[in-house]
Structure 1
């Protein structure tokens, strides 16, 4: 007679011991998660605060009328202290004149455009060449008030007669000032004067008997 067959009993699953997490590891994990969330929040905030602004894409001279071809738009995170024309207002600046020289790649500020002609009705534009020693240290900007002073030309026989008299002056306003010419350093300044004073100022320039003086702040 054969031996009775043994029946295997149920197999108990292996016991897995629970691993205890160290408090330091848990704290570090929570800190990394928090830092990552803060970084994402800052990134989303920066993206959300981007502003559509108007940019300059072509050279624009002082007094030139702005066209759509001169301007473009860009989206950027803009500091509240920076004054720029928003893209929604682009149509409002097209057709206005550049109050200053505009360069490609720059933002367009409201103060850089004007609806007024820089040479008004009844005025004349007088170009004045200034030698390096005659150029003021203060930068000449459009709209700046100046005086054109008549001075005796070198070698003039009227020097003694006019030395004790008040020189003749003409009020003017800077429309544009060029950069210094290579080699000579001469700066050409376009000055607007009244139609009556324009020919006189031009004659002084031709005779080399004119000097440009900056008017005091608040002066006419």
Structure 2
């Protein structure tokens, strides 16, 4: 510092450091440019999210009284009051089920499929018709494990009952006509595999005139069950 500067500092009565250092400027803060489009989009997303949450809460809160099955019911069995119960559930629109008000209309109908305890009851699972129609007979057929189709046997499945030669039959015992005799039938019920043997019992409805013949084939062990192709295939 020169002598002139020192004399000036002394005259003003300020410290030398204050005289030397310049004023401190505050940092410049650049203002962010507002974008109206982004703000509008953000508000729209927030509003849409709020509507979605409201709809979800309404769906969860809306519950419907529906008919349930409280004990197992076999195929073809007539439903009674004791077989049915009720439950309040949030029902998906894609799921078809009897509402509790329809319970009286369900009593007296037959189970078209095996009904499990604790399940909801759907219109497709019951029928007012007997599974064995007028003019038909029910033939039980026992199938060994190697005779059971890999395709699950379900009520309504169309089948052919085929007469095959008995085991140990000689060629002379087989008729010259190689086309086997067949009987058309329809599956009414199929049991699970029996423990130990694996035998599956299938109840097949046939025309009343064919029932005795099919029963004789079963007794002789000369009957085989063949699945028909689904309708339209």
Between the two proteins, the alignment pairs up a number of residues equal to 184
Taking the aligned partners of 2:78 and 2:170, their CA distance within structure 1 comes to 47
Taking the aligned partners of 1:209 and 1:138, their CA distance within structure 2 comes to 22
* RMSD of Structure 2 on Structure 1 (CA): 2.1
Once the 2 structures are TM-superposed, how far is the Cα of residue 68 of structure 1 from its aligned partner? 1.0
Question: Pairwise mapping of residues 1-220 of structure 1 onto structure 2 (< 5 A)?
Answer: 41=54, 44-157=57-170, 161-162=174-175, 165-218=178-231
Taking the aligned partners of 1:164 and 1:196, their CA distance within structure 2 comes to 23
> Please, which runs of 5 or more residues in structure 2 have no aligned partner?
1-46
TM-score, length-scaled by structure 2: 0.73
The 1:168/1:45 distance shift into structure 2, 3 A limit, reads same
* Structure holding more helix per residue: 2
TM-score, length-scaled by structure 1: 0.77
Taking the aligned partners of 1:171 and 1:83, their CA distance within structure 2 comes to 33
The 4+ residue runs of structure 1 with deviation greater than 4 A are 37-44
Once the 2 structures are TM-superposed, how far is the Cα of residue 162 of structure 1 from its aligned partner? 3.6
Question: Aligned with 1:129: secondary structure?
Answer: strand
- Which has the greater radius of gyration? 2
Taking the aligned partners of 1:215 and 1:39, their CA distance within structure 2 comes to 49
Segment of structure 1 superposing worse, 50-59 or 150-159: 150-159
The corresponding residue for 2:16 is none
